[in-house]
Amino acid sequence: MSTQDLHTIISQKIDLRWSDWAQQHPHLAEVIDRVRLVESVVTLLSEDTEFVRAMREADLDAARLGAASKLLEQAELTIRKLLPV
């Protein structure tokens, strides 16, 4: 996942909770810069070893899925050659 993707996801997640939180904490909501909040969360996550490990594993899973998909495509081509319709 790119840093930009992470920024977008974090921003969306903050947006989901912001209204309710801002109603409970109106004075804080007035002074908190949401862009800086997103940056802070992204920084915290990038320094969190569990998060980094989980993202690395997700990247590996995506690579494995891509490789498996290519294998299935290759198998389908072979089967089409062996059993033409």
Instruction: Give residue-wise pLDDT tens across range 61-77.
Output: 989 999 999 999 999 99
* Contacts by 13-21, CB closer than 8 A, 24 or more apart: 14/38, 14/41
How sure is the predictor about 84, in pLDDT bands with cuts at 50, 70 and 90? Answer: confident
Q: Give dist(CA 35, CA 10) in Å, integer.
A: 10
Residue with tokens 């974090």: 10
Instruction: Give residue-wise pLDDT tens across range 16-58.
Output: 999 999 999 999 999 999 999 999 999 999 899 999 999 899 9
pTM over 0.85: no
In a 3-state reduction of DSSP, which class is residue 83?
coil
